[in-house]
Amino acid sequence: MKHSISLSRGLIFLMAVTSGFTVANVYINQTLLVSMAGTFHVTAAQAGMIATLAQIGYAAGNLLLVPLGDLFERRRFIVGLLFLVGVCSAASALAVSFSWLAVTNLLLGFFTIIPQILVPFAAGLANDKNRGKVLGNVAIGLVCGILGARVVSGAIDAQYGWRVMYWIACAAAVIIMLIIRFCFPKSKGTHAVGYGKLISSLFPLLIKEKALRKACVNQGFMFGAFSLFWTTLVFMVSEPPFSFGSQTAGTIGLVGIGGAFATPLIGRIIDQKGAAFANKLCMSFTLLSFVLLMAGRTSMLVIVLGALFITMGIQANQVACQAEIFQLSADMRSRLNGIFMVSTFLGGALGSYAGGAVWMLFHWNGVCILGMIMIGIAFSSRITINRAAKQSDIRREIEAGANK
């Protein structure tokens, strides 16, 4: 892709807005589940499958669709995906059975991988001197979409019902699709290989590239710690000395949106100090946040600050990891990002699952300790993989010398 295309502030802003509105489709259902259960007369556990299926669809889309960004012209690809997102949103709004709603949310998650097409798109349009800053600015929209979706959908549901939220999502997809069609620059696919070969290249790519493995393990456990915190927060604030409802936990999520604005700052640090330095800084910051949360669990101010700091550290770490892997190859950025996001999602699923189990056994202190352990694993992954790579290089040098 040519770097001569102008990457204006307006284009970066549009990419950020598109990322936020599209990724929100994966999360809007989480505050609609009670209303959905009432509509279709299912249990809360059954309704929870809607959120699970949307996440499964998103993970599958990252694995099976995101790599196509290396194959297709990206503007046309994004427009096509937005059309399908609009169709799935409308189908969800029109659902006449719970099974219908489950299938449409699975497909909605599958096609809502547009942010992971946009990130390598933006990286390709940027240059080596400002790539971190650009990725940080685009990430603002992504974080706002993830954290804001629950608040907005809850408010819409309370006033108008859950179906209206899906009609709004459909309208947003159509409007953004038209804007992108006329405002986005065209790109050029860099690979003329078949889809089968493209997908089959993912695992060998993971095995071959040390930096990719390091980023996948690193952000996987970091995002696991993020999911661990937000999954258990509602339980913690519902107990004394707070005794708040779930709405308060959602309101704290708004504070987390402020953490999104740390991503441009970490982007500048990446451009000046390098992605590896920024990665270590983010991990250290998040580790200290869990220490703060465990020490001050009886203070709402500490909880709010902890939510802000954890969001800042983990979302900024994602930008640092992406900046590092995008240096590997300009022609494979979509595949690299697809692999990276699948590992991030798996880490998030692990954190959510472990959060409930640890809370039942050890409550908040156990949650904070597990968060520290997950960040410790993220730290050690960088050291371990670097050490293994150096040993492999030494073995190759020895073998090469012996063969001479």
Mean pLDDT of 341-370: 88
Per-residue confidence (pLDDT) for residue 393, from 0 to 100 = 47
pLDDT in tens, 31-65: 788 788 889 998 866 887 888 788 889 989 999 99
Is pLDDT above 50 for 2? Answer: no
Domains observed in the chain: 1-196 (1.20.1250.20), 201-404 (1.20.1250.20)
The answer for residues whose C-beta is within 8 angstroms of residue 22's C-beta and 6 or more apart is 82, 85, 112, 114, 115, 145, 173, 176
Is pLDDT above 70 for 105? Answer: yes
pTM greater than the 0.75 cutoff: yes
Mean pLDDT of 215-228: 91
Is pLDDT above 90 for 340? Answer: yes
CA angle 91, 94, 96 (to 5 degrees): 115
Is pLDDT above 60 for 106? Answer: yes
The answer for residues whose C-beta is within 8 angstroms of residue 151's C-beta and 6 or more apart is 31, 250, 251, 253, 254
Burial string for 163-177 (b: 16+ CB within 10 Å, else e) reads bebbbbbbebbbebb
The structure tokens listed for 234 are 């509602």
**Looking at per-residue confidence, does 376 or 351 come out higher?**
376
**Strand residue runs (E) in 208-341:** none
Mean pLDDT of 66-77: 88
For the chain, helix (H) and strand (E) counts, in that order, are 16, 0
What average pLDDT is seen over the chain? 84
Per-residue confidence (pLDDT) for residue 56, from 0 to 100 = 86
The structure tokens listed for 292 are 């703060």
Per-residue confidence (pLDDT) for residue 249, from 0 to 100 = 65
The answer for residues whose C-beta is within 8 angstroms of residue 137's C-beta and 6 or more apart is 12, 13, 16, 263, 264, 267
Is pLDDT above 90 for 81? Answer: yes
247 falls in which pLDDT band (50, 70, 90)? low
Per-residue confidence (pLDDT) for residue 93, from 0 to 100 = 96
385 falls in which pLDDT band (50, 70, 90)? low
User: Three-state SS for 71?
Assistant: coil
**Looking at per-residue confidence, does 196 or 168 come out higher?**
168
C-alpha 146/C-alpha 112 separation (Å) is 12
Mean pLDDT of 89-102: 95
Per-residue confidence (pLDDT) for residue 388, from 0 to 100 = 47
At residue 242, φ and ψ (nearest 5 deg) are -90, -55
124 falls in which pLDDT band (50, 70, 90)? confident
Is pLDDT above 60 for 386? Answer: no
Task: Yes or no: say if 89 and 108 are a contact pair by the CB < 8 Å rule.
Answer: yes
**Looking at per-residue confidence, does 320 or 252 come out higher?**
320
User: Three-state SS for 242?
Assistant: coil
Query: Residue 41: left if φ>0, alpha if ψ -120 to 50, beta else—which one?
Result: left
Task: Yes or no: say if 279 and 386 are a contact pair by the CB < 8 Å rule.
Answer: no
Task: Yes or no: say if 166 and 92 are a contact pair by the CB < 8 Å rule.
Answer: yes
**Looking at per-residue confidence, does 70 or 83 come out higher?**
83
Give the length of the chain: 404
The structure tokens listed for 112 are 């809502």
